[in-house]
Structure 1
């Protein structure tokens, strides 16, 4: 066999169906050609086969190399270090990703210490019974069972490393708890039919961390202590390093990764400033607030300047992974071209993610022969309350028919609206509820962004008509179907008939007082943007996190975690479930690597 490094032969790694769908060129392209495996500005190169790894000019080596140091990446790194592995952590930016930037909610149950302090009764079986309704069959039943039974251990692991939580309980329905409450119901468990399946339990554990009065940027309360613990244990963290290519040996095991990185500290500082400005503008407003379209655009301008700096100042470096590579670089919601290709019906939504969510980790796995799944799945969050009055109203599609329980968690409503109702949704209110929405907006537990969304839509976007028939005609709905739906809704609101979506009469209001109003809640609503995140990714062996090829066999030395992989939250999302899956899957990958033969 040749001693020099060579590209794979033409038939070594045939293009997968995903690569063919992406229009990629054959993976036999030589690395020197710079020819990308995929498109969308990622420039991922075909993997390099290294015949003699010991003779290759590595610029660093460790037992485990983690690509993307967000929630899943830091969990893998810390678990690996605790098990005696040496670890290099790579991040295209400064680390943290969407896990640090999110609302700081972690989904945990089964009887955590915080639940017990708050007097919340829960056990793993009850947690599993509820999550079956959300998770469906995207993971095997035994994986969901393991996730629920490991929930307490994973949560206590966070606390042991300094992540702060509180038992201050918010017991009622809300899209996000008041800033002085930290344990709440982050799902649909209080609503029908789910509350009849298993007793509701508060499983949303929000970390005790503040970012002024903003409900984002709080995930750092969990991330930062884990990162500090990993650095103390010897994590070799290399920021501003973008992974572009994998390497494997003559036996087919992934053994390393090539990064393009900013070696000059002064340039890294300048790059960090540009990225920080981009993130500041993108996080200035909630993605559900109308003006967020403008702030996101400004953020992407700063990102373009950072990209220009990268193209002129980067250099290449190869890093060796003696036992395994973990891909944990997030989803692809911030790569508009990928979203348009895989999930075009969600392209009008606003990305709920950070700049690193560009799909690069998924593409790296595909380049090595990994298979991907559920790439069309996007979690779109259409919360209707607060204000409570909107949740008491009626949500209808373009035909004038209801399609959801208006008190369900926002991702379930968004899924029903986009996947089965062509992305159209209108909140129907009568005069009394419309006026009540203004009072609700200034309730003591309503956050600023929730209040502002209510006021902007009620004042500037509400469609008004004197009668239901006139409102239906203004909206282009069928007046006959709309009238029938309204009559059924009012009958259920009076308690005269059960609601077919299991909505309680206590959560409903008769819509009888004209004039009548409609708030456009559609996927492309001008004044009511919908926040979206991708939940598909690489298919993995669920016992180890190893990336699977198209035959279902695990690829040696390559693992995926978090939103680089299909996981617990890849069907329907509830608040904190992705963070919990990041910790679960990151630790799983590190355990597998530690147990693999050296």
Structure 2
């Protein structure tokens, strides 16, 4: 990566040192964003405020709704602003919430777990992106967080799926959403099922289920007095003379007819983007159609909106998502992932992060993207070996998809080929119709097997088709076979029953690379604003202090999942960081 981890973006504000800008002269509007420099008010009392509340929440997804509800419970008045209709990626996701330490659902299912075991495992995933104290606090709060969600109406169930999978059958709601069942992690920490899937249906689709958590929280917040403005875009922050953030300028519709037309285009954009899994080949077309509807909505917004100022008496929380649905920003900060498809929603355009930067906020890990290359199901693909462009194996194929994707993109040039022999290839077709396999998982298997598989009578012939080193590929297959027969330990900690001996030609390769034509890879950004981990306050770009009055949560901020993602960890971090920001604001005494 040649983009600095802490990068002050090109902008019209004239604030950046040229040495930190990869491409001098760029303008933030090149990314399709309209964020203005903050307005400094010498006397805020004389400003023409349209509304006021103790806390303003910018973006009402998972982090935003958690902040709003926690703030209301602590006696704050709260106004929430959302560019679209709320929910964001939290409502659109698969409804998985990562939790442990002995949650009520774990106890009901007979799953033994405690906060220390959860922390011991997550340390391998989280690394050092947050302090040990923050990770420990997250784990110690986890069981209580699930109880908080349940009190507010989020439905969970204790039906348990014990096998490795990228996503459980639709009638199972507690499973292993990480690499804890795979080597070496199962030998390092006792595995425990920590994937809590909310009880909700969206036909046979495993997405759009996160609303099962978000909607009850939103309703609970509304019942407590939340003022929610949808289709309202935050464009500018207001500061007082000391530099404290005290308000937000928004753009909102005044003509009901234009707003109605805008809503239709946004609904169409969301429908097309959510139509297919981002790992399915046809998703490239549905995403393109969705973006066309978004462009039409934006054109209406330019002509049909007017400005208003909303005052924050005690603090502003930025919780407007990441930037995976802003292709220009992805190409700028994380070009190695630009060929992937976004795992996000329309609000993931980077605007919340850039609002924070406009007030002097510091960014970190903007180059970090979680790319999900799940290999199983079908089970046979997990029994195969994955090699890079040279023909060299580089991971345990049963790991969680984000760990595989990280190895592939960050250290293996974005290349990945699933290698099978005739027996295993045929088994993969049978596995596609096996127990617990969802429709989209089956279809991905069949499309790639019938339309994208390369075939060669020998490993050398297959290597020639892939452009690999034939000797290296043959050597890796031979080593894999020895481990599969139990003749030597596997270098990536797979047991023989997780492997298959590949010795019957012809040999097959499925392209699983970051730019695979028939097997797209789903991506989400996990970097953002750097925050004080005790409060969620946004750190200043220069110096060690924070921007007073400004907080960030969810994917607007660096958090628990900003190193390696596992299913449900972002949702859990959204709730954790949103509530943290609200607690800090309520205790600030401002």
Under a length normalisation based on structure 2, what TM-score does the superposition of the two structures give?
Answer: 0.96
Distance 2:519 2:532 in 1: 39
Which piece of structure 1 moves more, 35-44 or 314-323? 35-44
| Alignment partner of 2:14 out of 26, 32, 35 | 26
Q: How many residues align?
A: 576
Distance 2:206 2:236 in 1: 36
**What aligned pairs does 1:469-548 form with structure 2 within 5 A after superposition?**
469-548=460-539
Q: Post-superposition shift, 1:18? A: 2.5
| Alignment partner of 1:257 out of 230, 242, 248 | 248
Indicate whether 1:292 and 2:283 are aligned.
yes
| Alignment partner of 1:368 out of 356, 359, 370 | 359
Q: Post-superposition shift, 1:25? A: 4.0
Q: Post-superposition shift, 1:182? A: 0.3
Residue 571 of structure 2 corresponds to 579
On the 8 A contact 2:10/2:27 being kept in 1, the answer is: no
Q: Post-superposition shift, 1:155? A: 1.1
Distance 1:288 1:345 in 2: 17
Q: Post-superposition shift, 1:39? A: 3.9
Distance 2:586 2:220 in 1: 19
**What aligned pairs does 1:263-282 form with structure 2 within 5 A after superposition?**
263-282=254-273
Q: Post-superposition shift, 1:38? A: 5.7
Q: Post-superposition shift, 1:269? A: 2.7
Q: Post-superposition shift, 1:268? A: 2.5
Indicate whether 1:84 and 2:72 are aligned.
no
Across the aligned residues of Structure 1 and Structure 2, the Cα RMSD in angstroms comes to 1.3
Residue 592 of structure 1 corresponds to 584
| Alignment partner of 1:247 out of 235, 238, 245 | 238
Cα offsets for 1:261-307 (capped at 9, x unmatched): 11333433322221111010011110000000000001011111111
Residue 213 of structure 1 corresponds to 204
Under a length normalisation based on structure 1, what TM-score does the superposition of the two structures give?
Answer: 0.95
Residue 107 of structure 2 corresponds to 116
On the 8 A contact 1:36/1:44 being kept in 2, the answer is: no
Residue 302 of structure 1 corresponds to 293
**What aligned pairs does 1:307-386 form with structure 2 within 5 A after superposition?**
307-386=298-377
On the 8 A contact 1:46/1:245 being kept in 2, the answer is: yes
Residue 148 of structure 2 corresponds to 157
| Alignment partner of 1:555 out of 527, 547, 553 | 547
Residue 132 of structure 2 corresponds to 141
Unaligned runs of 5+ in 1: 1-15, 29-34
- Structure 1's 166 and 346: CA in aligned 2 closer, same or farther, altered over 3 A? same
Q: Aligned with 1:80: secondary structure? A: helix
Residue 52 of structure 2 corresponds to 61
On the 8 A contact 2:13/2:37 being kept in 1, the answer is: no
Q: Aligned with 1:271: secondary structure? A: helix
- Structure 1's 339 and 37: CA in aligned 2 closer, same or farther, altered over 3 A? closer
Cα offsets for 1:457-482 (capped at 9, x unmatched): 00000000001111111111111111
Distance 2:411 2:29 in 1: 30
Cα offsets for 1:547-585 (capped at 9, x unmatched): 000223111100000000000000000000000000000
Q: Aligned with 2:262: secondary structure? A: helix
Q: Post-superposition shift, 1:110? A: 0.2
Unaligned runs of 5+ in 2: 17-25
Q: 4+ residue runs of structure 1 moved beyond 6 angstroms? A: none
- Structure 1's 235 and 36: CA in aligned 2 closer, same or farther, altered over 3 A? farther
- Structure 1's 296 and 332: CA in aligned 2 closer, same or farther, altered over 3 A? same
Distance 2:509 2:13 in 1: 49
Residue 202 of structure 1 corresponds to 193
Indicate whether 1:569 and 2:561 are aligned.
yes
Residue 52 of structure 1 corresponds to 43
Distance 1:44 1:570 in 2: 25
